Structure 1
Amino acid sequence: MTHVTTHVLDAATGEPARGIGVVLAAASGDSVVAETAGAIIAHGVTDADGRLAIGPDALEPGDYTLTFLTGEYFAARGAPTFYPYVIVTFIVEAETEGSSRHCHVPLLLSPFAYSTYRGS
């Protein structure tokens, strides 16, 4: 299983948000990935169900970002939006044996609001 997954739902339409570009990158901060802050690790596009598995099978513990290209998504639908990008910063924690656990980062999206949480 890919280490990071996401699921984007368009709250305005009640449909999965298909075709949203997503970029996984290292973030700055007090982490082992700080020296590579901003480095793009992977990118992809949500599928017909609004889902995307992104990145390698494992990530080093540290801070990462998922950038959702929401402006492009809404522009393609002729809808104005306040958020051209949604950037979610999250922590990949080390497990007791030193590996890191799977991260699921869902996004509930509308043109003028969004919500996210740590999924399972």
Structure 2
Amino acid sequence: MGRLSTHVLDTVNGRAAPGVAITLDRLLSDGSRRRLVETLTNADGRTDAPLLSGDGLTTGTYELSFAIGAYFRALGTPLPEPAFLDIVPLRFGIADAQGHYHVPLLASPWSYSTYRGS
């Protein structure tokens, strides 16, 4: 059974990032998008359940958006106004709906990276 999960790591403080607001959209062939999930990361920087699983995970293009600016503001991290990074969008494709796609975000107020994890 396929599934999509994520994890947010705060690379400034060397820890998981709790309380990060995340949205997941499916990008449709006509150029529109459909909101599928709105959630927050838990104390471990993960969501409590997979973002999508089973029949809910289909091939196509998706976009995860992470409210990383709000996360660092809530910690009291000094940020310029506007913040260099506020919402971090990650657009990716699901080619195998039976696979496990783990899309982590490693973030600071100045940079981010991602990869397909396991």
Q: 1:44 and 1:2, CA in 2 relative to 1: closer, same or farther beyond 3 A?
A: farther
- Report the alpha carbon displacement of residue 2 of structure 1 after superposing the two structures with TM: 7.4
Residue number in structure 1 paired with 2:42: 47
In the alignment, structure 1 segments of 5+ residues that lack a partner are 28-32
| Structure with the bigger percentage of strand | 2
Distance 2:98 2:59 in 1: 6
Is the partner of 1:78 in helix, strand or coil? coil
Q: TM-score w.r.t. structure 2 length?
A: 0.84
Deviations 1:12-33 (A, max 9, x none): 0001000001001012xxxxx3
Over the matched positions of the two proteins, sequence identity in percent amounts to 39
Contact 2:2 2:57 in 1 (8 A): no
Match of 1:93 among 92, 95, 102: 95
RMSD of equivalent CA atoms: 1.8
Question: What 5-or-longer segments of structure 2 have no aligned partner?
Answer: none
2:76 match:
78
Helix, strand or coil at the partner of 1:13: coil
- Report which structure shows greater RCO (CA 8 Å, sep ≥6): 2
| 8 Å CA contact 1:106, 1:117 repeated in 2 | yes
Output one character per residue of 1:56-94: Cα deviation in whole Å (capped at 9) or x when no partner: 433220000000011211111122141101100010113
* 2:29 alignment partner, one of 25, 28, 34: 34
CA distance in 1, matches of 2:59, 2:52: 14
**Number of aligned residue pairs:** 111
**Cα distance 1:84–1:22, how it changes in 2: closer, same or farther (>3 A)?**
same
The TM-score, its normalising length taken from structure 1, stands at: 0.83
